[in-house]
């Protein structure tokens, strides 16, 4: 369920998802090198994800629910974004029959692996193309 709050006078909504710890740390680093807060990075991610509609182009939904057994390699991330973006993501969730945590995890995965892949992944993709 989305929770609403105010940030700088604007209504924001938040929802939690579970993602790999390494992905969370990478997204934090991406935000830092782009001169953004994590909140701004999440907003940028949601805006781009909704515009791109990657789920309509073959991106599979990821399971954003807690693992059955506690795993230190996974962390809960609270994504706070403007209410209009949150409403749009909730609509994507409803239309595709997946939970909102799944949409958020998939969105963060897309941002950190497709849109801004780590250097080692860029190199792996380039080497594969050169074959």
Instruction: Note the pLDDT tens digit of each residue in 33-66.
Output: 999 999 999 999 999 999 999 999 999 999 988 7
DSSP assigned state of 97 = T
pLDDT band at 67 (very low <50, low <70, confident <90, very high): confident
Question: What pairs with residue 76 in β-bridges?
Answer: 18
What is the structure's pLDDT at 1? 42
Find the radius of gyration of the CA atoms of the chain.
15
Residue 36 near residue 85, CB atoms below 8 Å? no
């Amino acid at each position: 369920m989305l929770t609403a709050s105010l940030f700088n006078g604007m209504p924001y909504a938040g929802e939690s998802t579970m993602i790999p710890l390494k992905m969370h740390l990478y997204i934090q680093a991406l935000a830092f090198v782009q001169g953004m807060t994590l909140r701004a990075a999440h907003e940028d991610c949601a805006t781009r994800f909704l515009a791109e509609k990657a789920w309509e182009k073959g991106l599979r939904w990821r399971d954003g629910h807690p693992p059955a057994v506690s795993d230190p390699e996974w962390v809960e991330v609270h994504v706070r974004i403007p209410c209009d973006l949150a409403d749009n993501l909730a609509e994507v969730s409803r239309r595709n029959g997946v939970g909102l945590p799944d949409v958020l995890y998939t969105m963060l995965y897309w941002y950190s692996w497709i849109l801004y892949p780590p250097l080692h992944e860029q190199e792996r993709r380039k080497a594969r193309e050169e074959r």
